[in-house]
Amino acid sequence: MDLIIRRATLPRSAVPQHKQPVDIGIEAARIVAVEPNLAAHAREEIDAAGSLVTPPFVDPHFHMDATLSYGLPRVNASGTLLEGIALWGELKPHLTQEALIERALQYCDWAVARGLLAIRSHVDVCDPRLLAVEALLEVKRRVAPYLDLQLVAFPQDGVLRSAGAFENLKRSIAMGVDVVGGIPHFERTMADGAQSVRLLCEFAAEQGLRVDMHCDESDDPLSRHIETLAAETHRLGLHGRVAGSHLTSMHSMDNYYVSKLLPLVREAGVAAIANPLINITLQGRSDTYPKRRGMTRVPEMMAAGIDVAFGHDCVMDPWYSLGSGDMLEVAHMGLHVAQMTGVDAMHACFDAVTVNAARILGLEGYGIAPGCAANLVLLDARDPVEAIRLRAARLAVVSRGKVVSRAPAARASLSLEGRPAEVDFKLHRG
């Protein structure tokens, strides 16, 4: 074999469940064995020593055309979504393909080091030059040997509101962009928003494509485009191929209406993507106190049987000044904002940045079982909850069967009389 990872603990969601720890055998970029005490040898062996080995992190919602542009041409002073969109509009005419590619590749380096090996990125198609589309298609080609990049044609300024946006979107799909995006709440009227959802879903159905719309990223409880998105998904038979991103208005909606909405979303097989780091900072900006958290209803949707994943959305761009490609930071924030503190709920937050996100992207060969792609992350944690708590170091990242990144464990030495020489921040009993 090419590589064996020995004595690995797997996350709960890994299928099939094993007596643990297990050894994972890899050959020709595929997992070929998952069993205790694997009787085989490999050119390279890694001893996980009981630590967690997970399929890679998956970011189902990102903006790679804007990433790492923080401060260009200026910083978002109000911190609002709308100033972020205006700021992006100021930056767009100054974008060059070289700079876009360089920033995106740098972000992908960070992502790999964080064990983030699949990203769905929206790319703005409102610039008729389609500069960002060309740049991210080039980035997709360059990172393909180690990272799955899926692109969404995103009409940032509104497919109806912005002249030529639908034509640009269609051109970008013809160029190789994978998924149809939209932004109904940014159209000029509710009716235009609903019309944009219909138009884009019909186009996706015609083309046999997936849909992922920025939907209801608003504090307005009457922003109900998710209802149209679910109804259109059902009407056009797009079940399982559509995601609504953000859905923050659901936080502010009337409970009775939501009790009717969630079954519609579930029956249509529409997935939900919450972006906790971004929406806890962008939403509720016009509130005084009490101030709304603004994240969509994550535990309620999960309980209703809707697929829910967490996205990073932004890293150092017009909307968000922080971030480093760490999906454990995303899960950590999602857990807090949604108050998902029960044991099962914390595991569900880990799933939201791994298996659930992979399902929404339609990733093939994702998981830890014979036949799956050999993409794995060894974490300096014993289980997913500890991984979230510590935002654990990625001791080793394996992509396509090769170790592509290593990092040291987080340890601190102590010089205290009568106390241990080192701490690892893990709970050691007895």
Q: Annotated active-site positions, please?
A: 217
Question: Closer CB to Fe ion, residue 51 or residue 275?
Answer: 275
Q: Could you give the CA distance from residue 200 to residue 205 in angstroms, rounded to a whole number? A: 9
Which single residue is written with the structure tokens 């090769």?
Answer: 402
Q: Could you give the CA distance from residue 63 to residue 184 in angstroms, rounded to a whole number? A: 18
309-338 positions binding Fe ion, by CB under 5 A = 313
Question: Closer CB to Fe ion, residue 357 or residue 387?
Answer: 357
Residues contacting residue 7 through CB under 8 Å, at least 6 positions apart: 21, 22, 23, 47, 48, 49, 50
Question: Closer CB to Fe ion, residue 313 or residue 326?
Answer: 313
294-313 positions binding Fe ion, by CB under 5 A = 313
Question: Closer CB to Fe ion, residue 294 or residue 367?
Answer: 294
Least separation in angstroms between CB 421 and Fe ion: 46
Q: Could you give the CA distance from residue 367 to residue 164 in angstroms, rounded to a whole number? A: 41
Q: Which residues face 310 on adjacent strands?
A: 274
Query: Under a CB-based contact definition with an 8 Å cutoff, are residues 315 and 339 in contact?
Result: no
170-229 positions binding Fe ion, by CB under 5 A = none
Reference 117, options 393, 366, 340; nearest CA is 366
The dihedral of CA 295, 296, 300, 304: what is its sign?
Answer: negative
Question: Closer CB to Fe ion, residue 66 or residue 231?
Answer: 66
Q: Give the x-and-dash track for 75-94 against Fe ion (CB under 5 A).
A: --------------------
Number of neighbouring beta carbons within 10 Å of residue 228: 20
Q: Give the x-and-dash track for 113-132 against Fe ion (CB under 5 A).
A: --------------------
Residues contacting residue 208 through CB under 8 Å, at least 6 positions apart: none
Could you tell me the CA-to-CA distances from 304 to 7, 60, 297, 300, 336 in Å, in that order? 36, 20, 11, 6, 20
Least separation in angstroms between CB 326 and Fe ion: 18
Query: Under a CB-based contact definition with an 8 Å cutoff, are residues 376 and 40 in contact?
Result: no
Q: Give the x-and-dash track for 261-290 against Fe ion (CB under 5 A).
A: ------------------------------
Would you state the torsion angle of the CA atoms of residues 417, 423, 427, 430, taken in this order, to the nearest 10 degrees?
Answer: -40
Q: Which helix (H) or strand (E) holds 58?
A: strand 57-63
Least separation in angstroms between CB 379 and Fe ion: 27
Q: Could you give the CA distance from residue 416 to residue 377 in angstroms, rounded to a whole number? A: 34
Least separation in angstroms between CB 282 and Fe ion: 10
Question: Closer CB to Fe ion, residue 217 or residue 386?
Answer: 217
Residue of closest CB approach to Fe ion: 313
Which token pair is 251? 């936080």
Reference 36, options 12, 9, 7, 13; nearest CA is 7
User: How many residues interact with Fe ion (rule CB under 5 A)?
Assistant: 1
Burial of 266 (0-12, 13-18, 19+ CB in 10 A): middle
Least separation in angstroms between CB 131 and Fe ion: 19
Least separation in angstroms between CB 319 and Fe ion: 8
Least separation in angstroms between CB 275 and Fe ion: 6
Q: Which residues face 378 on adjacent strands?
A: 53, 396
Least separation in angstroms between CB 61 and Fe ion: 6
Which token pair is 341? 């503190």
Question: Closer CB to Fe ion, residue 11 or residue 318?
Answer: 318
Question: Closer CB to Fe ion, residue 313 or residue 380?
Answer: 313
Q: Which residues face 271 on adjacent strands?
A: 243
42-71 positions binding Fe ion, by CB under 5 A = none
The footprint of Fe ion (CB under 5 A) covers 313
